[in-house]
Amino acid sequence: QVQLVESGGGLVQFGGSLRLSCAASGSILSINAMGWYRQAPGKERELVATIMSGGSINYAESVKGRFTISRDNAKNTMYLQMNKLKPEDTAIYYCNAGGRLRNFSRYDYWGRGTQVTVSS
């Protein structure tokens, strides 16, 4: 009932930048929380950044000062600007969104992920 599609991943050199996008569509009444998570090979999925509908933002310590999360509520789209990328940022990046559907039931969905690879 909700589709999340990530885009913008790719291969970048150490110190480079990428911008990820996550577009939400479907029977959406509202989107409360949106977030980016990542999972590196052999590791658990971890939080990168979250942004609430009211604008409250939270970052993982490892990305503070380098990544910027934002959202366009009119377009149901979230972004992650990633600067000064490091090899340890290499992972599959997943979009997450939660809110209410048009039938007023709650939802929490994940996108399929987009690969980010940072070469040294």
Distance CA 69, CA 37 (A): 12
- Give one DSSP letter per residue of 57-74, joined into a string: EEE-GGGTTTEEEEEETT
* Nearest residue to 39 (alpha-carbon basis) of 98, 112, 97, 120: 112
Element (H, E) at 12: strand 10-13
Distance of CA 117 to the CA centre of its chain: 15
Distance of CA 103 to the CA centre of its chain: 25
- Per the CB < 8 A criterion, the answer to whether 101 and 27 are in contact is yes
Q: Which residues of the chain have pLDDT under 50?
A: none
Tell me what pLDDT residue 89 has.
98
Tell me what pLDDT residue 73 has.
92
DSSP three-state, residue 88: helix
State pLDDT tens for residues 1-25: 899 999 999 999 999 999 999 999 9
Distance CA 53, CA 72 (A): 10
Bridge partner list, 91: 116
Tell me what pLDDT residue 58 has.
98
